Structure 1
């Protein structure tokens, strides 16, 4: 008798037609993601093989750590796109936005409208995994004032909220949408986050998905796939990303 493995459905079989990934770190050398153009090209080639239609890659913007500007991101994107065709990567569409840490730098940029949206008026934001921003309400006010809709990256990883789901209800009510990391459901960040990610999916908190791939190792983990009993739910959620086409 064969026992079902924990990751019984390969990732490629879970990906819906025309999937659009909205969270990754594939611009080389500007954050903790890939280091070279060729690493970027390899991962994008695999994404193409998985059936992805589009990748909107999202380098970190963090004050004092990765204070990337809209210009550094767009110029880096152009360099990467220039090599994709010679590398034979022609089916996948590549765009760039950012994953904005909700810090003082972001607060200034949102007020100055120096923002690269994901698509239309959506922006991808994150908070520290140690604590939420003290001025979260002020930041949200500025986001709304500027006409953007914030998508909170990987809410399942903010362990300071895990004991109180009402905090997630409050975030939703205040205007945040939620994007789960597919790596979280694979168990990459540990069993606790995996379990909480599945709980958030089951209870209807999650709006969108993202790979959040930074490197080859994460790609390999993702490629193995997911437990059979949750695979269909993941495919269904991934279809929501058609919003970004």
Structure 2
């Protein structure tokens, strides 16, 4: 298995604050069958700034720690970059970096609003050869409150990556059901761990794939795994056409139920 989004670098962000905790995370990943990890510390997110050069340095330290513990998981550079109007310049200058030096750039949206420059930024990134990968859209309230915005992003060629914990129910049963529906309706292209801590935010990729296989079938697992591999190797991600009407109907029903539940 390949994981394209996690926070395993030591003291880089809200991930492990010690080498010991980072090693616990990597051992957990290895035990679950994860062979390749693209490390993605937060960048331009609150107080967290991890420019490309810093990621390289911290990744070297983590690799040394992993080698001393004989952990066989392969590690690659990346970032989870908070969306901002200067992202293209940052990528071209090397301050922001892509996933394993590929065309794919992992972008975190605001949890409050969809920035008014989003469409132009996506267009500019694509015109310069980059492919935006939106991190955990299922946990982004502005996107879930207006599912048409997510459809528009997918229509524009944006890749979406959901969190394994959303599939397993770590964030609640409602989000689990919603996320599985998103996968079924082809609004999801990749699953990743977003692991932060071996206990509170662990690697749950294996568990997520098992649930997807049970609920939706093996073909979805193959599809999602192959896309993670494609990103790692800078190959073409497979994108299926989303089923618009069904999912919009489901989300509208859910919003109506929530509204009446207030009274």
- Whether TM-score is above 0.5 comes out as yes
Identify if the C-alpha distance between structure 1 residues 147 and 35 changes in structure 2 by more than 3 Å, giving closer, same or farther.
same
In the other structure, the counterpart of 2:195 is 213
CA distance in 1, matches of 2:94, 2:53: 14
| Conservation of the 8 A alpha-carbon contact between 1:121 and 1:147 | yes
| Conservation of the 8 A alpha-carbon contact between 1:186 and 1:222 | no
- 1:223 Cα deviation after fit: 6.9
CA distance in 1, matches of 2:217, 2:19: 32
1:39-69 per-position Cα deviation (integer Å, ceiling 9, x unaligned) = 1111111211111120001000025511221
Q: Work out which of the residue numbers 208, 229, 237 in structure 2 matches 1:242.
A: 229
CA distance in 2, matches of 1:110, 1:79: 24
In the other structure, the counterpart of 1:154 is 136
| Conservation of the 8 A alpha-carbon contact between 1:27 and 1:40 | yes
CA distance in 1, matches of 2:203, 2:132: 29
| Conservation of the 8 A alpha-carbon contact between 2:159 and 2:188 | yes
Identify if the C-alpha distance between structure 1 residues 159 and 77 changes in structure 2 by more than 3 Å, giving closer, same or farther.
same
Which deviates more, 204-213 or 101-110?
101-110
CA distance in 2, matches of 1:154, 1:164: 15
CA distance in 1, matches of 2:225, 2:52: 27
Structure 1 runs (4+) deviating above 4 angstroms are 220-227
How many residues align? The count is 226
Identify if the C-alpha distance between structure 1 residues 64 and 155 changes in structure 2 by more than 3 Å, giving closer, same or farther.
closer
| Conservation of the 8 A alpha-carbon contact between 2:9 and 2:16 | yes
- 1:167 Cα deviation after fit: 1.6
Identify if the C-alpha distance between structure 1 residues 80 and 231 changes in structure 2 by more than 3 Å, giving closer, same or farther.
farther
Gap runs ≥5 in structure 2: 234-263
TM-score (norm 1): 0.83
In the other structure, the counterpart of 1:93 is 74
In the other structure, the counterpart of 1:5 is none
- 1:145 Cα deviation after fit: 3.3
| Conservation of the 8 A alpha-carbon contact between 2:162 and 2:190 | yes
1:180-234 per-position Cα deviation (integer Å, ceiling 9, x unaligned) = 1111111122233222211110101111110000112221766766644347466
- 1:121 Cα deviation after fit: 0.7
TM-score (norm 2): 0.78
Instruction: Report the aligned-residue RMSD.
Output: 2.2
- 1:85 Cα deviation after fit: 1.4
